[in-house]
Amino acid sequence: MIIVTDLSHKIGTAPILQDINMTLEKGGVTALIGPNGAGKSTLLSLIARLVPIQTGRITVDDLTIGACPTDVLARTLAILPQVIDTAPLLSVRELVGFGRYPYHKGRPTAEDHAKVDYALETFQLTPLADRRLETLSGGQRQRAQVAMTFAQDTDYILLDEPLNNLDIAASRSLMAILRDLAATHSRTIVIVLHDINYAAAYADQIVAMKSGQIVATGSPEAIVTDRLLQDVFQTDPKVHCLNGKMMVQV
Amino acid sequence: MHSKRLCLLALFLGGCIAGYLLLGARGNWAFVLPFRGNKLIALLLVAIAVSTATVLFQTITQNRILTPAIMGFDALYVLIVTILVYLLGGQVFLQLPAVGQFVFNTTLMLVAALALFGSLLTRARGDLMRMILTGIIFAVLFRAITDFLQRMIDPNEYAVIQISSYARFARIEVELLAIASVLTCAALIATWRMRHRLDVLALGPDAAINLGENPQRGMFQALIIIAVLVSVSTALVGPMAFMGLLVVSLAHMITPTASHAVLLPSAALISAITLVGGQFVLERVLGLSTPLIVVVDVVGGGVFLILLMRGKRR
């Protein structure tokens, strides 16, 4: 369970987050939505300790962010990092292998190798295992990164706008993989999404944010409504219900 | 594949060392071998110090163009020596024991490097152009202050500084060898123990945090090691602008890998081959007509321009 208590954050003098209180139960896919500048990515970065907390408190299970050793947290919570452009020389297997670093600290055991093989297989990357990242397509790279976070074997996985630059096929396949991680591997997924339709189609729970505050939390059916979209995004697209899923007409 | 190439490099270096020690010696071997041996050890120390400092710097800044020398680390060392001579006077400075002088310089260098580059690297990380500009401005500033102080002091004292302001391989300060060896070995051991953490740090700060490494701490440890290594190489032979860039670029070509367990020894071997082999060819074959550093800097400067033109920062 991720518990956020009285969390506020400023960059310079500009308030980014104001008194956020949020509880995310274990399991399932939670989507953070909201307009640009709502503070979604900042909230995610704070939970993942990429940015130090200014005021407030975040706990993940029994670990307090900022107080618990960072390498202990790395075995409980993973964030999908943007490493592609900094490490073009890595092979897919090497990148996925980094997911085991929090456990072996540079000296992989047989078990670590087995987990990397399993991650490669799960994400259908075995044929690409020895290719370099720079030779892969955007979708394949994204899949390799998710495989790395999968190999990290954490209960919680955070993703910050993972669909950026992905076409519809790669986006749908990534979302399906995340759903599967939540369903069959009982991981807890928290994901920042720009496209409400993806949130409505794949998330169990949606958290809507606006100007640094949480406006609403609930199931896609409860959140994706004409009134709420108008309120959060200041625009009035039509919402349809198709086969029980909410869809926003753009 | 990499281990085979490392072995070949080691063999080649062995050949260079043998050639340097044995070829063209006339007279008493009991004199020639220790004399050349000392110079050889100094060359090896400098070679490994420069390559390791460059690899570390490129890892913590995540680029392949900047090196400690380009960012003005060497110039900072010369500036510190100049300030000391200016404040103490050349005679007092020379009367200080060499080892004490060296340790004192290195300590000052550590403090200055952490103060200046620590904050720069935190703020400008990922902004390559800003780092290059700041580095060039730092280097020019350090040299300008050095020049200014040198004008102000006695010409006799100026000679004291001049020795440490130009790269020289023919006349190496052998009395520093013991302390330089100890410091270099300590720095190398620290680097080697960091090698897996360096692999993670090279992925960038966010990825490093995700994997449970503290990038800030890693960066400061690397900066300390770099300051020590630059002090050693500058004290022994003087500043070398493009040597590090040249040898590390070659290492990336010969052993293309992200693993520091391969990259560090590969760069060190190539660096040692460049210095020992180059010195061997210049001293024994061509008869010492050109200082080695001129050749290295011309080639290294060319590599720097090519890398900048191709925009290949990683």
Instruction: Give the ipTM of the model, two decimals please.
Output: 0.90
Q: A101 and B314 in contact by Cβ < 8 A?
A: no
pLDDT of residue B104: 83
Domain holding A121, by residue range, is 77-153
Q: Is B2 on the interface with A (CB under 8 A)?
A: no
Hey, what are B89's tokens?
């006077």
Lowest average pLDDT, out of A20-24, A237-241, B11-15, goes to A237-241
CA gap A235, A248 in Å, rounded: 12
Is A190 within the bounds of a domain?
no
Is A127 within the bounds of a domain?
yes
Q: Is B264 on the interface with A (CB under 8 A)?
A: no
Instruction: List the single best residue of B211, B254, B263, B264 to mutate versus A (max A Cβ within 10 A).
Output: B211
Within 8 A by CB and 6+ apart from B273, the residues are B9, B12, B13, B16
Q: What is the mean pLDDT of residues A31-37?
A: 91
When pLDDT is cut at 50, 70 and 90, the band that residue B150 belongs to is confident
Is A176 within the bounds of a domain?
no
Q: How far is A88 from chain B (nearest CA, A)?
A: 8
Alpha helices, DSSP H, located in chain B? 2-22, 29-61, 73-88, 90-95, 98-124, 128-152, 155-165, 177-193, 195-201, 205-210, 215-237, 243-254, 260-272, 278-280, 292-310
Q: How far is A134 from chain B (nearest CA, A)?
A: 11
CA gap B27, B35 in Å, rounded: 12
CA gap A85, B305 in Å, rounded: 22
- Measured between beta carbons, the chain B residues lying within 8 angstroms of A70 are 209, 212-214
Is A226 within the bounds of a domain?
no
Q: What is the mean pLDDT of residues B210-225?
A: 90
Q: B203 and A71 in contact by Cβ < 8 A?
A: no
Please give the share of chain B, as a percent, with pLDDT higher than 90. Answer: 26
Mean pLDDT of chain B: 84
Instruction: List the single best residue of A46, A49, A63, A86 to mutate versus B (max B Cβ within 10 A).
Output: A86
Q: Which of A156, A172, A133 is nearest to A26 (CA)?
A: A156
Hey, what are B178's tokens?
């013991």
Q: Is B123 on the interface with A (CB under 8 A)?
A: no
CA gap A229, A210 in Å, rounded: 11
CA dihedral for A12, A13, A16, A19, sign (positive or negative): positive
Nearest chain A alpha carbon to B60:
A86
pLDDT of residue A155: 94
Is A130 within the bounds of a domain?
yes
Mean pLDDT of chain A: 89
Q: A98 and B214 in contact by Cβ < 8 A?
A: no
Tell me: pLDDT of B59 over 80.
yes
Hey, what are A95's tokens?
């990148």
Tell me: pLDDT of B312 over 70.
no
Q: How many structural domains does chain A have? A: 1
Q: Which amino acid is at B227?
A: A
- Measured between beta carbons, the chain B residues lying within 8 angstroms of A69 are 212
Q: Which residue has the tokens 């108008």?
A: A230
Q: Which residue has the tokens 């052993």?
A: B255
CA gap A179, A181 in Å, rounded: 5
Q: B209 and A98 in contact by Cβ < 8 A?
A: no
Residue B241 near residue B136 (C-beta atoms within 8 A): no
Q: How far is B135 from chain A (nearest CA, A)?
A: 21
A123 vs B97, more confident: A123
When pLDDT is cut at 50, 70 and 90, the band that residue B125 belongs to is low
pLDDT of residue A217: 92
Nearest chain A alpha carbon to B195:
A106
Residue B50 near residue B226 (C-beta atoms within 8 A): no
Q: How far is B207 from chain A (nearest CA, A)?
A: 5
- Measured between beta carbons, the chain B residues lying within 8 angstroms of A42 are none
Q: Which amino acid is at B270?
A: I
pLDDT of residue A239: 85
pLDDT of residue A189: 94
Is A104 within the bounds of a domain?
yes
Q: Which of B168, B206, B223 is nearest to B53 (CA)?
A: B223
Is A237 within the bounds of a domain?
no
Query: Angle A132-A134-A138 (CA atoms, 0-180°, nearest 5)?
Result: 115
pLDDT in tens, A210-243: 999 999 999 988 888 888 888 888 888 888 888 8
Q: What is the mean pLDDT of residues B234-244?
A: 85
Tell me: pLDDT of B229 over 60.
yes
Q: How far is B193 from chain A (nearest CA, A)?
A: 10
Is A207 within the bounds of a domain?
no
Mind listing the domains of chain B with CATH numbers?
2-310 (1.10.3470.10)
